[in-house]
Amino acid sequence: MKTRRLAVGLIAGLASLAAAPAMAQDKVSLRLNWYVGGLHTPYYYGKELGYFRDAGIDLTINEGRGSANTVQVVAAGSDTFGMADSSSLIGLAAKGAEIKSVMSLLNSTGYSVISLASNPIKTPKDLEGKSVAVSPGDPLGQLLRALAAANKIDINKVSFVQVDPAAKVVALLEKRVDGLLGGVDDQFFLVKYKGQEPAALRYAENGANIVGMTILTKTDLIKSNPDLVKRFVQASIKSWEAAKKNPAAAVDAAMKAKPDLNRDSTLDQLKVDLELLDSPNSKGKVGLGAEKDWAETIALLKQYRDLDTKADWTAFHTNEFVQP
């Protein structure tokens, strides 16, 4: 009888364990820099593969409205993490925002002069006498001056035509400008899939590279919950590594959330972004930032975007969560 009672008690205990709820996951949100495109597909893929779930993270991905807006949203605490370009992050952090990059995601910038292959701007010298579309407050216009200086180009011989961001491609296709300042992983393919053959003059290949996209969060979170930051970063690394092995599957995962994406264009974008993960100084682990890249970025922003800071690069980025 005693043995039977022990057996019944053991079964009941096991049953209660089986019925117990799973350990609660941390609810985390990631604010993208823009509407979903190739750059963002690894996060949808990582979520589908369970990398974030396995890291104890319940991830929500929110579309963005530009890097500057994303930085502000994360600084305000509305989202846990954000994806934004380094210049927007550094600019706001230098003004006192308690934010920091925890992944140096794209270590080469995709900033480029996009033109039509029928009238290409292939070299810096080709810029002289040409007109380019740029948006108000756009960092591409200011950093084009760095490219011009590095290549001894007279920037006064380049005409800047101010247009809204969405109107850049239209202005180029209608040949109202000779080129536009945009992304080799973005506007380049918008032109291509409008039926025109594009050409690109990349800033990074012509003396004006800055760190591209970063993943940032509040410094308060880094101090109060470094374990959560590390789990998110490590799951992000796994997601990007998986996307490198199977870009098409990453795009398919994103299309389950955004069925209206142009699959071919999104896949093309992702392939370019995978090329931009590294710079000559940072080849290696996804998310690892190189001191030289960050220092050069800060120097260029000081010279061409009126950045006012005496802080070194470690004030804006940390590699502590990328390291194994």
Per-residue pLDDT of 141-174, as tens digits, reads: 989 999 999 999 999 999 999 999 889 999 999 9
Domain spanning 111-206, CATH class: alpha beta
Decide: residue 2, CB within 10 A, 0-12 exposed, 13-18 middle, 19+ buried.
exposed
More confident residue, 126 or 5: 126
Question: How far is 264 from 114, CA to CA, in rounded Å?
Answer: 19
- Tens digits of per-residue pLDDT, 20-64? 445 679 999 999 998 999 999 999 999 999 999 999 999 999 999
Q: What local confidence, expressed as pLDDT, does residue 23 receive?
A: 60
**Sequence-ordered list of residues with C-beta below 8 angstroms from that of 30, at least 6 positions apart, any chain:** 43, 59, 60, 61, 62, 79, 80, 81, 82, 83
With a cut of 80, say whether residue 233 has pLDDT above it.
yes
Task: Kindly calculate the radius of gyration of the chain based on its CA atoms and give it in whole angstroms.
Answer: 23
H-only helix segments in 20-151: 41-49, 51-54, 67-75, 86-93, 139-150
What mean pLDDT is reported for the chain? 92
| Digit-coded pLDDT (tens) for 178-202 | 999 999 999 999 999 999 999 999 9
Per-residue pLDDT averaged across 277-290, rounded?
Answer: 92
pLDDT at residue 87 tops 90: yes
- Residue 166: what pLDDT? 84
Q: Are 242 and 250 in contact (CB under 8 A)?
A: yes
Question: Locate tokens 């090329």: which residue?
Answer: 275
Which is more confidently placed, 267 or 24? 267
Calculate what percentage of the chain has a pLDDT beyond 90: 85
In this predicted model, what pLDDT tens digit does every residue of 38-47 receive, in sequence order?
999 999 999 9
pLDDT tens digits for 98-113? 999 999 999 999 999 9
Query: Has residue 136 got a pLDDT over 90?
Result: no
Task: Give the start-to-end residue ranges of the domains of the chain.
Answer: 26-108+211-315, 111-206
- For the residues 121-150, what does the mean pLDDT come to? 93
Per the structure block, which two tokens stand in for 284? Answer: 């290696």
Contact 234, 34 (CB under 8 A): no
User: In terms of C-beta density within 10 A (0-12 exposed, 13-18 middle, 19 or more buried), how is residue 274 classed?
Assistant: buried
Please give the pLDDT value at position 19: 44
In CATH, what is the architecture of 26-108+211-315?
3-Layer(aba) Sandwich (3.40)
Q: Which residue spans within the chain are E strands per DSSP?
A: 26-31, 57-62, 81-85, 99-104, 111-116, 131-134, 159-162, 179-183, 198-202, 213-218
CA 205 to chain centre: 19
Per-residue confidence band for 70, with pLDDT thresholds at 50, 70 and 90:
very high
Backbone angles phi, psi at 244, to 5 degrees: -65, -35
